[in-house]
Amino acid sequence: MLYYLFNYLKAHFNLAGAGVFQFITFRVTMAIILSLIISMIFGKRLVSFLRKKQIGETIRELGLQGEESKKGTPTMGGLIILSAILIPTLLFARIENIYIILIIICTLWLGTMGFIDDYIKVFKKNKKGLAAKSKLLGQIGLGLIIGFTLYFNKNVVIQREILGNTSPSAYESSLPAPESEQQNNIDVLRRKFVNVKTPITTIPFVKSHEFNYAKLISWISPTAEKYTWIIYIIIVTFIITAVSNGANITDGLDGLATGVSAVIGVCLGIFAYVSGNIKFAEYLNIMYIPNLGELAIFIASFVGACIGFLWYNAYPAQVFMGDTGSLALGGIIAALAIIIRKELLIPIFCGVFLVELVSVMLQVSYFKYTKRRYGEGRRILRMSPLHHHYQKLGYHESKIAVRFWIVTVICAIFSIATLKMR
């Protein structure tokens, strides 16, 4: 909103300094500062309110160290994160941008679903919360929205260089050139580049580092490519569901999911900025995605919200995010990765989420298998998810959380290095 206001003031009143809002770097800086302020100030008041209303976490009896001290700790703190993400985004981003619209829908969708789950647990005294089937349907619904939008919306394009008289294929339709901060550069590059719509993503470690989803079914018949949208939407839905659940499972120790999400957010912010900046994209030899740079403002708000929330969520936690926060964090990360076309890197920079999710799947599967075969269930880990296994081994939860952060930092650095490692 402020972007449009200061544009108007500059155009009609020639207000000194109003032009600074044209620069994404300035708006990114302002967004992260405001998100930190909101999460710190609003966070303190919300924690006090939740404690006063006795909206506390019901702890399952797991026999873990320090479990008793967490009973009654305020929950639904994800409201702090959601507020600190959405308010700066609405103020500083260009809200007509298709990527901003899509990620705001994702945030509200999963945030609302998580809030309903927490509401059932806290006020209806139902420890199970929202039924697993209802959660899954909600995640699938969001996956369909994101998949359809990214595949069919005319504003979701990449920019291709035209060599000689080469023109886009029938599959890749030409679209109008985008607006950009570097308008003068774009005017020159229009003679050599054209916007095309094509379902491609980035393959890490490969020199020709792009993969077209159409190749998954093009071998069936010459006309099979027109059904690529079905495969694409299925893949998008699976990623949204998997990463959202992975973040939800990871949210089991003070500060664990929050810190991991903040690091991943920084990684995605770098990807978004370089992919949305024509000079960096050309230098790194990666696909240039017009108008993607605007997404860096949302990501800055996301990182600021996570760091600000960590002030209250670090050990010993004064508030838990609940499913209001954890479901949204995972879904946002998945959606961002898909939009930036780095979804094949998710197993690397979301390595902690992946390992946590897989640890639960293996534990449950092995227990059921051994119970059916031997008459008694056996376990691979002392307890799942993996962070509880380390608690059972005697590690303090703050040490576990910090070490998981460090692992995520390593994974994020390795992911960023793939921009040149191929």
DSSP 37-65: HHHHHHHHHHHHHHHHTT-B--------T
User: Looking at the 3D structure of the chain, how many domains does it have?
Assistant: 1
DSSP β-ladder status, 193-196 and 174-175: antiparallel
Q: Residue 296's domain spans which residues?
A: 2-154+203-272+292-417
Report how far apart, in Å, the C-alpha atoms of 242 and of each of 38, 130, 323, 332 are: 30, 17, 15, 12
Residue 73's pLDDT is 83
Helix, strand, coil share (%) of the chain residues, nearest 5: 65, 5, 30
Is 283 among the domain residues? no
Is 196 among the domain residues? no
Report how far apart, in Å, the C-alpha atoms of 106 and of each of 139, 261, 329 are: 10, 16, 10
Q: Measured between alpha carbons, how far is 3 from 20 in angstroms, rounded to an integer?
A: 9
DSSP β-ladder status, 210-212 and 193-196: unpaired
Q: φ, ψ for residue 200 (rounded to 5)?
A: -115, 160
DSSP β-ladder status, 210-212 and 200-202: antiparallel
Q: pLDDT digit of tens for each residue in the chain (422 aa)?
A: 787 887 778 777 887 777 888 888 899 999 999 999 999 888 888 888 888 877 766 655 555 666 666 777 888 889 999 999 999 999 999 999 999 999 999 999 999 999 999 899 888 888 788 888 999 999 999 999 999 999 999 999 888 766 554 444 444 444 444 444 445 444 444 446 777 888 899 888 887 778 889 899 988 888 888 899 999 999 999 999 999 999 999 998 999 999 999 999 999 999 999 998 888 888 888 889 998 989 999 999 999 999 999 999 988 888 999 899 999 999 999 999 999 999 999 999 999 999 999 999 999 999 999 999 888 889 999 998 999 999 999 999 999 999 999 999 999 999 999 988 87
Nearest to 352 by CA among 277, 208, 250, 238: 250
Is 286 among the domain residues? no
Q: Measured between alpha carbons, how far is 295 from 281 in angstroms, rounded to an integer?
A: 15
Judged by DSSP in three states, 201 sits in strand
Is 260 among the domain residues? yes
Judged by DSSP in three states, 318 sits in coil
Is 116 among the domain residues? yes
Is 263 among the domain residues? yes
Strand arrangement, sheet containing 193-196: 158-161, 193-196, 174-175
Is 186 among the domain residues? no
Is 180 among the domain residues? no
Q: Measured between alpha carbons, how far is 421 from 391 in angstroms, rounded to an integer?
A: 36
Residue 225's pLDDT is 87
Residue 62's pLDDT is 58
Tokens of 372: 């059916």
Judged by DSSP in three states, 238 sits in helix
Q: φ, ψ for residue 173 (rounded to 5)?
A: -80, 140
Residue 224's pLDDT is 86
